[in-house]
Chains A and B, each alone.
Chain A
């Protein structure tokens, strides 16, 4: 009897990129659900728009590059990028913000560098930063949590708001928007108020902003699940939270009037999303086990430094891109000792 011959190992692979990406998407669900609950269905509209644009962009560019389209789209990486970018954007961002960000992420940050696996920068964060520096006004207009004002919007209002940039006649723009907790800590500190005073403002909840705590909790939950499923290692999230927490604790201990508590920083803004879903993007992170811990610590520290002393209220995107820059060097210096070789 004749048989086909192939090289060893013959055992089936235990994992696939498609599966990894799918699980990342599943893990995002609790966080997205919380966001939708507190900020309205605009979140879902943005995600749908971003995913559609990302798939179209990826398909066209794959076509231009003469690459297989169907099987590549199946790897879901474009969808992950789109979702991550969409949930980082202000919920009431007009449609073209999402479109421009996703196009930049997919076309420039991903495919101009060679596509999945070759991009040195996290595409979603590259898109985010581009938007932040180009359209600062639209990028900082955050919606107030539902209980503080936006509950009045129905589905049609949402579509109108995002696609036509129109609010219902009886609602003022200022009534539905509000600074994010991180933002208001910044501006209010600038006005001479102390942190304990600022935290009595209505936007704040128990730890960070109203609603934000639940969103952070959702991402934390999804992230822990990914860890448990061994889709991500513990090194980057723990490193990041540790770096951020350590910095925040030291400053808080020095002056708790000027610096917010570490618990605030760990829950506010994109901390949890960044720690479990963005900094952990394998393509752009350090690869060795020790290297990843260092990488996480570095990004966490950068987040704090930029939040407190930098020009932007939330700093995850910048910190991650800077981390991306250092990844090759970190890998170089954390090369393991080969079995049987001298150190």
Chain B
């Protein structure tokens, strides 16, 4: 058993995992319509490579972009592109944005897969390109492109790969069941990632209650006969699944503030991502489906479903027997960091690990906010060791300088502080607002700086042109004067 470390704070939350943890993964039906938001990450807009009327096959790229944080998007089934139109996208803003809409034809025809013969013979760059081409991003919820994480640059020495199997948010069990169902794909995926990174140590971290997953993975490792990979059980403490917290727990290392895991020689990937990498490299299949937990007291049948990316949530809910009358809120992700959706005609995307149809009794509906009584419970719970209460005062007062001094941008918005606050203050909202204000201000300052540079440049150019004109006219005058002088001289000579 490997040694594990602790981080400050964190919460033991009611898990609610039994609703879905011990059921087999159900294959979701092929939906009539698939919806693909072109905005895959905030600020990364893909360009459609298909047009309305085109027929597509499963696995065909339908959108891509050369933005460095972009990964291509693939059709999850065969059919016809119906339109490219604005739909509400799964994003906290609840706003509409362009989406590709595909009417499926039910035949589910796919492009022929193009697996790699033996990944061990391939250079890292080729594997990264393959992984990007397969559209793989972090499936734990962050959706960061995996190929970029695999390329930390020559100045960073990476020694450890950590596979994140710690599903620390309540309710979510998609990784847990995947580890039980496909331990080999995860282990093989881990080995591919280790090869691509050239690291000698791989650790799969699971929470201590995931006995079946632990055993399945151990057996798969045994079978692979690769000693460089180990499974470790870590305490179920929210937010252990946060990247920096997980690295701390597993290796004892602290990722520097403002830095990335690669700065301490670690790359983290979600277990689902590892399985997707295996499918892309060894089976030649791009990312077109994932396991999603559909749960909460607000839905009739809680279960884990293997669903096509792009499937509308309403389809999944219908296959779970529909809503209970008690349903109050629809959340994408977990109850701590997930965001509430305005309606269910919204597709699941690559990052969607959970659809939580929560009954009124499961979520905070009306908080009775009181003044802060300085109890310090928030500071005790903060996994980053911030002073949430100070951050609250300063963000409420709009004092962004002070917010910075109290390390606002180290806050991971995990919500621990808010859940324990007896005054029931919506703390995280204040931090989000202060962060976006700070960012807006920085952008403004940048804009102003650019404008000033442009202005200075114009002034300079004007001055230069003026000087040049003056010089020219001076030369002209000189030349004229010379000419005159010469003429006079000739005249005189005559």
Binding site for B on A (CB under 8 A): 1-20, 71, 75, 115-118, 233, 282-285, 287-289, 292, 335-341
Q: How far is the CA of A212 from the CA of B488 in the complex (A)?
A: 126
Whole-angstrom CA separation of A17 from B422 in the bound complex: 5
In the complex, residue of chain A having the shortest beta-carbon distance to the beta carbon of B383 = A339
Residue of B nearest to A115 (CB): B371
* B389 interface hit (Cβ, 8 Å): yes
**Interface contact B338-A8, CB-CB below 8 Å:** yes
The answer to whether B384 touches A11, judged by C-beta atoms less than 8 angstroms apart, is: no
Q: CB distance A15 to B422 under 8 Å?
A: yes
Max chain B C-beta neighbours (<10 A), residue from A3, A6, A9: A9
Report which of A4, A9, A335 forms a contact with B419, defined as CB distance below 8 A.
Answer: A9
Q: How many A-B residue pairs have CB under 8 A?
A: 173
* Measured CA separation A285–B410 after assembly (Å): 26
CB of A339 within 8 A of CB of B336, answer no
Whether a CB of chain A sits under 8 angstroms from the CB of B214 is no
| A117, B371: Cβ atoms closer than 8 Å | yes
In Å, the complex CA distance between A284 and B415 comes to: 25
CA distance A116 to B329 in the complex (A): 33
**What are 28 A-to-B residue pairs whose CB atoms are below 8 Å?**
A2-B343, A3-B328, A3-B330, A3-B340, A3-B342, A3-B343, A4-B329, A4-B340, A5-B94, A9-B337, A9-B415, A10-B335, A11-B419, A13-B419, A17-B424, A20-B373, A116-B371, A117-B371, A117-B374, A287-B379, A287-B389, A336-B8, A336-B385, A339-B244, A339-B383, A340-B255, A340-B257, A341-B410
B411-465 interface (Cβ within 8 A of A):
413, 415, 418-424, 426, 428-429, 432
Q: Determine whether B377 belongs to the interface, using a CB cutoff of 8 Å to chain A.
A: yes
Q: Are B342 and A2 in contact (CB under 8 A)?
A: yes
Asked whether A8 lies within 8 Å of B13 as measured between CB atoms, the reply is no
Chain A residues with Cβ below 8 Å from B407 are 338, 341
Question: What 5 additional pairs, Cβ within 8 angstroms, besides A8-B413, A11-B336?
Answer: A3-B343, A5-B342, A17-B373, A71-B368, A337-B385
Residue in B248, B422, B423 whose Cβ sees the most chain A Cβ within 10 Å: B422
B119 within 8 A of A: no
Cβ-defined contact, A340 with B410, below 8 A: yes
- Chain A residues with Cβ below 8 Å from B418 are 9, 13
Q: How many residues of B contact A (CB 8 A)?
A: 69
Task: Give B378's nearest chain A residue, CB to CB.
Answer: A287
Complexed CA–CA distance, A260 and B14 (Å): 51
Task: List B residues 329-385 near A (Cβ within 8 Å).
Answer: 329-331, 333, 335-344, 356, 358, 362-364, 367-368, 370-377, 379-380, 383-385
What separation, in Å, do the CA atoms of A238 and B487 have in the docked complex?
109
Residues of A within 8 A of B255 (CB): 340
Q: Using A7-B92, A13-B367, A15-B377 as known contacts, say yes or no to A340 and B336 having CB atoms under 8 A apart.
A: no
Please give, as numbers and ranges, the residues of chain B lying within 8 Å of A292 by CB-CB distance. Answer: 376
Contact B364 A12 (CB under 8 A): yes
A335 to B406, CA, bound (A): 10
Partner of A116, one of B358, B364, B367, B373: B373
The answer for the CA separation of A9 and B362 in the assembled complex, in Å, is: 12
B386 at interface (Cβ–Cβ under 8 A)?
yes
CA distance A71 to B424 in the complex (A): 14
Cβ B364 vs Cβ A10 within 8 A: yes
Interchain CB contact (< 8 A) of A10 among B8, B329, B344, B372: B329
Instruction: Give the nearest-CB partner of A7 in chain B.
Output: B429
Let me know if B256 is at the binding interface, CB within 8 A.
Answer: yes
Among B94, B170, B330, chain A packs the most CB atoms within 10 A around the CB of B330
B376 near A118 (CB under 8 angstroms)? no
From DSSP, what is the main secondary structure of chain A's interface residues? Answer: loop
B39 at the interface (CB under 8 A from A): no
B420 touches A15 (CB 8 A): yes
Nearest 10 CB-CB pairings of A with B: A9-B415, A117-B371, A340-B257, A5-B340, A287-B376, A282-B375, A15-B422, A10-B335, A10-B363, A339-B384
Task: Assess the A10–B338 pair: CB atoms within 8 A.
Answer: yes
Q: Are B335 and A11 within 8 A (Cβ)?
A: yes
Nearest to B412 among chain A residues (CB) is A339
Chain A residues whose CB sits within 8 angstroms of the CB of B278 once the complex forms: none
Shortest Cβ distance from A110 into chain B, in angstroms? 11
Complex contact A20–B422 (CB within 8 A): yes
Asked if B323 is at the interface (CB within 8 A of a chain A CB), the reply is yes
State whether the Cβ of B259 lies closer than 8 Å to any Cβ in chain A: yes
B428 touches A341 (CB 8 A): no
Q: Tell yes or no: B201 within 8 A of A by CB.
A: no
Question: Are A335 and B387 in contact, CB atoms less than 8 angstroms apart?
Answer: yes
Q: Are A117 and B415 in contact (CB under 8 A)?
A: no
Q: Which residues of B contact A13 (CB under 8 A)?
A: 364, 367, 418-422, 424
| A3-B341, A115-B371, A340-B254 known; A16+B323 contact, CB < 8 A | no
Which has the most chain B C-beta neighbours within 10 Å: A6, A18, A340?
Answer: A340
CB of A340 within 8 A of CB of B259, answer yes
Contacts of A341 on B, CB cut-off 8 Å? Answer: 256-257, 407, 410
Smallest distance from the beta carbon of A124 to chain B beta carbons, Å?
A: 15
Say yes or no: B94 contacts A287, CB within 8 Å.
no
Chain A CB within 8 A of B4 CB: no
As a 0/1 sequence over residues 152 to 172 of chain B, the CB contacts with chain A under 8 angstroms (1 = contact) are 000000000000000000100
**For the complex, what is the distance from the CA of A12 to the CA of B363, rounded to whole Å?**
5
State how many angstroms separate the Cβ of A81 from the closest Cβ of chain B.
Answer: 13
B374 to chain A, nearest CB (A): 5
A115→B372 CA distance, assembly (Å): 11
Q: Please tell me if the beta carbons of B385 and A289 are within 8 angstroms of each other in the complex.
A: no
For the complex, what is the distance from the CA of A63 to the CA of B170, rounded to whole Å? 43
Residues of chain B contacted by A17 (CB below 8 angstroms) = 370, 373, 422-424
In-complex Cβ contact of A338 among B314, B333, B363, B386 (8 A): B386
Q: Which of B62-98 contact A (CB under 8 A)?
A: 92, 94
B7 within 8 A of A: yes
Give Cα A233–Cα B362 distance, bound, in whole angstroms.
29
Can you name the residue of chain B whose Cβ is closest to the Cβ of A280?
B375
Question: Distance (Å) between the CB of A235 and the closest chain B CB?
Answer: 10
In the assembled complex, which residues on chain B have CB atoms less than 8 Å from the CB atom of A16? Answer: 368, 370, 422-424
Interface centre among A17, A18, A116, A339 (most CB of B within 10 A): A339
Q: Do the beta carbons of B428 and A11 come within 8 Å of each other?
A: no
Looking at the assembled complex, report how far the CB atom of A271 sits from the nearest CB atom of chain B, in whole angstroms. Answer: 23
Contact B376–A282 (Cβ < 8 Å): yes
Complexed CA–CA distance, A37 and B174 (Å): 61
Residues in B with CB closer than 8 Å to A75 are 370
> Given A2-B343, A14-B420, A341-B410, is A8 in contact with B387 using a C-beta cutoff of 8 Å?
no
Closest to B339 in A: A8
Q: Which of A7, A116, A340 contacts B339 (CB 8 A)?
A: A7
**Which residues of the other chain, B, contact A71 by a CB distance below 8 angstroms?**
368
A5 to chain B, nearest CB (A): 4
Q: Report whether B373 and A339 are in contact in the complex, using a CB–CB cutoff of 8 Å.
A: no
Q: Which of B256, B340, B386, B426 has the most chain A CB within a 10 Å cutoff?
A: B340
In angstroms, how far is the closest chain B Cβ from the Cβ of A62? 13
Instruction: Return A192 CB to nearest CB of chain B, in Å.
Output: 47
Given contact pairs A3-B340, A6-B340, A15-B422, A288 touches B379 in the complex (Cβ within 8 A): yes
Query: Most chain-A CB neighbours within 10 Å: which of B342, B373, B380, B385?
Result: B373
Known: A7-B92, A12-B364, A13-B424. A338 touches B373 (CB 8 A): no
User: Bound complex: CA of A223 vs CA of B429, how far in Å?
Assistant: 35
